[in-house]
Amino acid sequence: MKYTIIGLVSLLFVGGVTFFGMHISYNNAHVDYHNQYNAQNGVIETRLDNMWKIISDKFSMSQEYAKDFKEVAATNSSNFGQGGEMWKWVQATYPQIDSSVYKEVISSIESERKGLENAQKRIIDICREHNNLIMKAPSSWFISDRTILEWIVISSKESKNIMITREDERSFDSLRK
């Protein structure tokens, strides 16, 4: 009888320590995901700010041109090269822009866009990992804050509409003023 009681007390103690350890571990992971989410949000904001600065400041473009160019660059990820549709749009809309400036801007924007894409992929992954943590057993048993992390992808209105309609009817001609 004495050994049975000692065995039960030991089992309860080990179970309690295990439960407490899992509670701490899962809640720490939960906090880590929230911290990563907030940090990655800052990375994305920085990438967007850098893209704007590249367009408007570095190349001394007017605010109006920079805004138009940023929209075109953000919504059209292919066919940037000289002779491509985007270059034709730039020449028709802003004939004073030299092709070397265009190439330099495009190169810088492509780099920033790739960084923005990677940063958004990372924050989406953080959301997925966090949401799995709070929704799946056994971790969901130990976490009281079940707030789902959600990231709304930064994209153009046209891309958002395409995701709703599942039809892509964009062309560069529609971007001309």
Question: Each residue's pLDDT tens digit in the chain (177 positions)?
Answer: 888 888 888 889 888 899 899 989 999 999 999 999 999 999 999 988 887 787 676 555 566 666 666 666 555 544 455 455 566 666 676 677 677 777 777 788 788 889 999 999 999 999 999 999 999 999 989 998 889 999 988 887 878 888 888 888 766 555 554
80 exposed, middle or buried (CB, 10 Å; 0-12, 13-18, 19+)? buried
Distance CA 145, CA 134 (A): 8
What pLDDT does residue 130 have?
96
Structure pTM?
0.69
Return the pLDDT at 177.
47
**CA nearest neighbour of 93 among 74, 110, 113, 71:** 71
